[in-house]
């Protein structure tokens, strides 16, 4: 009974872990849809470029980009899970194997690899991965997420007719900048970018004169 109870707990933990992936994946869906709304310079469609962008010799498939484009968070998680090399241990038991030797048999399930998604999008779109990490942590319901994504692409590609309005008014007493702007203007190192990312996760940062 204790063993069965433990396995049931692990199954629930696995389900909760997968459910938590919906927040960063939904934020990346906003990013992908914002990029799709602007002109695409390559002859290859973005999902093909995404699949061809490798991180440590690995890449998520084109179906992940397609699902993100459609705002299909569950579909994106399913595609990421199918390609995953990261597993969650559900149960472990001893069984008699060949030669009457005990062997350990593990029951595992794959987990969606959020870090790989962020790294692959970062390499493809040339956005610092720490900036994407901030967006992923904020999630789709935080107004700062839409603002930051619009700033990222407006600065690189120019505004377009469908650009969403900013939720925060300009600060008359100082200068308000996006995370990406601060990284670019100050030419921050990776370590400094991570420090800025940690700070912004805790409080919304406004740079004053």
Instruction: Grade residue 87 by pLDDT with cuts at 50, 70 and 90.
Output: very high
Residue 55: strand, helix, or coil: strand
For range 166-185, the mean pLDDT: 53
> Residue 176: its pLDDT value, please?
55
> Residue 179: its pLDDT value, please?
64
Residue 94 lies in a domain: no
Q: Percentages helix, strand, coil for the chain, rounded to the nearest 5?
A: 55, 10, 30
Q: By the 8 A CB rule, do 39 and 58 touch? A: no
Residue 107 lies in a domain: no
- Please compute, for residue 90, the number of CA atoms within 13 A of its CA located in the half-sphere on the CB side: 13
> Residue 191: its pLDDT value, please?
64
54: number of Cβ within 10 Å: 12
More confident residue, 164 or 79: 79
For range 122-132, the mean pLDDT: 96
Residue 65 lies in a domain: yes
Residue 9 lies in a domain: yes
Return d(Cα 126, Cα 34) in angstroms, integer.
Answer: 15
**How many domains would you assign to the chain?**
1
Residue 16 lies in a domain: yes
Task: Report the mean per-residue pLDDT for the chain.
Answer: 83
Instruction: State pLDDT tens for residues 191-203.
Output: 666 566 556 555 5
Residue 108 lies in a domain: no
The alpha-helical segments, DSSP class H, found in 86-209 are 114-125, 129-138, 143-157, 179-186, 190-202
Instruction: State pLDDT tens for residues 40-63.
Output: 999 999 999 999 999 999 999 999
Residue 130 lies in a domain: yes
> Residue 130: its pLDDT value, please?
95
Radius of gyration of the chain (CA): 21
| Structural domain boundaries enclosing 124 | 2-83+113-202
Residue 88 lies in a domain: no
121: number of Cβ within 10 Å: 26
Instruction: Grade residue 21 by pLDDT with cuts at 50, 70 and 90.
Output: very high
pTM above 0.75, yes or no: no
């Amino acid at each position: 009974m204790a063993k069965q109870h433990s396995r049931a707990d692990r199954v629930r933990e696995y389900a909760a872990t997968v459910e938590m992936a919906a927040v960063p994946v939904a934020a990346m869906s906003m990013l992908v849809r914002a990029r799709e709304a602007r002109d695409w310079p390559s002859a290859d469609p973005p999902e093909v470029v995404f699949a061809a962008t490798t991180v440590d010799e690995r890449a998520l498939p084109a179906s992940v980009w397609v699902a993100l484009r459609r705002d299909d968070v569950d579909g994106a998680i399913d595609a990421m899970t199918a390609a995953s090399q990261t597993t969650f241990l559900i149960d472990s038991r001893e069984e008699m194997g060949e030669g009457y030797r005990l062997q350990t048999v593990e029951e595992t399930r794959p987990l969606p690899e959020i870090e790989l998604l962020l790294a692959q999008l970062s390499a493809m779109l040339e956005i610092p991965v720490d900036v994407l990490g901030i967006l992923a942590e904020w999630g789709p319901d935080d107004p700062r997420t839409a603002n930051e994504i619009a700033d990222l692409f407006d600065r690189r590609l120019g505004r377009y007719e469908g650009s969403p309005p900013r939720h925060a008014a300009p600060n008359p007493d100082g200068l308000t900048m996006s995370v990406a702007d601060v990284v670019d203007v100050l030419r921050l190192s990776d370590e400094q970018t991570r420090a800025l990312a940690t700070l912004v996760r805790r409080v919304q940062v406004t740079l004053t004169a």
